[in-house]
């Protein structure tokens, strides 16, 4: 006779499946974004060296599209990281509170040996570095690079003032940062039908 899973066990498995499904989909979306960005970048520099008046219009379209796609990639990463934290938090909550386990039987709410495995200065050692945060830094840098190319092209075509370069690059950074915040807020997920459990940042393990 097979043992049937309890409600808590089924919920725990559903959370893990949802987290894994979200992770797999994000990997696919990221590949699409980066493939488009790479194609646009190659297309831009293929035309830029021998641009005619008609090609110049296409160059502006590529620059604008490159910035939009890169910004979408960055915001998609932020959205993934937001939901990833949600899934992990819920899974850890089940491990620690709803479905109390012994520490050695847990998976997501424990770590093997945090300090001894952490080696920032060791070239062949691992370190506590967030891949999601690193991905966000890269995607923001790519978005900023497209914005910087737009401002530099504007300077090249409409002014020859060298002192404006630093100001233009700073403006491109500020614009990228402000747009990522504003567009992210404008395109946020609708959570009005979700109950917020307001789980504490750190939960104490019970019944162990």
| pLDDT for res 1 | 44
Is 204 within a domain?
no
Q: Average pLDDT for consecutive 10-residue bins of the chain (208 residues)?
A: 70 88 89 95 85 77 95 95 91 81 79 89 92 94 95 77 77 94 92 84 58
Cα 121 from Cα 125, distance rounded (Å) = 8
How many angstroms from the chain centroid is the CA of residue 38?
18
Of 116, 87, 110, residue with least CA distance to 13: 87
Is 191 within a domain?
no
Is 202 within a domain?
no
Question: Is 129 within 8 Å of 150 (Cβ atoms)?
Answer: no
| pLDDT for res 96 | 82
How many domains are contained in the chain? 1
Cα 113 from Cα 131, distance rounded (Å) = 19
Is 32 within a domain?
yes
How many alpha carbons lie under 13 Å from residue 59 in its C-beta half-sphere? Answer: 18
| pLDDT for res 3 | 60
Is 89 within a domain?
yes
| pLDDT for res 51 | 65
- CA dihedral over 31, 37, 39, 41, signed as positive or negative: negative
| pLDDT for res 163 | 65
Domain carrying residue 18: 7-110+129-186
Is 29 within a domain?
yes
| pLDDT for res 204 | 61
Is 2 within a domain?
no
Mark out the alpha helices in the chain (DSSP H runs).
Answer: 7-48, 53-93, 131-158, 164-186
| pLDDT for res 193 | 85
Is 35 within a domain?
yes
- Residue 27: give its domain's CATH number: 1.20.1050
Q: 85 burial class (0-12, 13-18, 19+ CB within 10 angstroms)?
A: exposed
């Amino acid at each position: 006779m097979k043992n049937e899973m309890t409600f808590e066990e089924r919920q725990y498995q559903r959370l893990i499946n949802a987290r894994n499904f979200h992770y797999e989909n994000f990997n696919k979306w990221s590949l699409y974004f980066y493939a488009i960005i790479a194609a646009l970048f190659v297309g831009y520099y293929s035309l830029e060296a021998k641009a005619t008046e008609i090609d110049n219009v296409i160059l502006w379209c590529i620059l604008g599209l490159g910035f939009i796609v890169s910004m979408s990639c960055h915001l998609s990463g932020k959205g993934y990281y937001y939901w990833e934290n949600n899934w992990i938090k819920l899974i850890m909550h089940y491990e620690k509170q709803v479905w109390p386990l012994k520490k050695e039987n847990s998976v997501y709410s424990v770590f093997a040996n945090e300090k001894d495995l952490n080696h920032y200065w060791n070239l062949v050692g691992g370190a506590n570095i967030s891949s999601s945060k690193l991905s966000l830094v890269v995607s923001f840098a790519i978005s900023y690079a497209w914005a910087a190319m737009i401002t530099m092209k504007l300077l090249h075509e409409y002014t020859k003032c060298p002192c404006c370069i630093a100001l233009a690059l700073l403006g491109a950074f500020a614009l990228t940062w402000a747009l990522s915040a504003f567009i992210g807020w404008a395109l946020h997920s609708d959570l009005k039908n979700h109950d917020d459990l307001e789980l504490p940042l750190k939960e104490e393990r019970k019944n162990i």
